[in-house]
Amino acid sequence: MKTFLLSLGAAALLTLPAAGQLATTATAQPMTAAPARPAVALTPDEQLFTTLLNQVGAAIEKGDMVALGKFMAPEYVHYNPNNGSGARAEDLAYIGTWGKTGVKVLGPVRVNRYGNTAVTVATSVFSGNDGGKPSSRAIQMMIVWVLRAGNWQMAVVQSKEVPA
């Protein structure tokens, strides 16, 4: 299940077509008893890539490998926390074997954009069953996105498990 969720994390970050920007905000959580800071508006790029990651998560939750595959660049590769890697076809086949899986993107998504290329860093929580027992893992992913024909696609994903 651990390998499954780690691969799920990478797959969740698979590419999706460019989507309209969401009008969401991220609320900073206090680390102590200090009062919470006011909500901070996301930048347009943070809104865009948060939307894309949520769409990737939705495709995984639905088990829709056709939709998920459209969001992966032909050269897609995922470097997973187990020191392995998987190409597009391998990850789609693997993710297609998963049972019911929940995906929640924790925000905000950090974005560095360079024209038709962007690098994002985000953490997602994947939940499902591991040997019949409920399981939840937080996976941080750094993704290199490429913009092709108006669609953002994931080209490279590097993932690691982090404390929940």
Q: Where are the domains of the chain?
A: 2-24+39-162
* pTM, full prediction: 0.76
Contact 55, 16 (CB under 8 A): yes
- Widest distance between CA atoms in the chain: 48
* Element spanning 86, H or E: strand 85-87
Read off the DSSP letter of residue 60.
H
Copy the structure tokens of residue 122.
């985000």
At 29 the pLDDT is 40
At 49 the pLDDT is 96
Between CA 101 and CA 113 the distance in angstroms is: 30
At 38 the pLDDT is 60
- Alpha carbon dihedral 47, 68, 63, 90, in 10-degree steps, equals -130
Residue type, 63: G
Question: In CATH, what number does 2-24+39-162 get?
Answer: 3.10.450.50
- Using one digit for the tens of pLDDT, what is the confidence trace for 123-147? 999 999 877 889 999 999 999 999 9
At 101 the pLDDT is 93
Contact 104, 54 (CB under 8 A): no
In which residue ranges of the chain is pLDDT below 50? Answer: 1-34
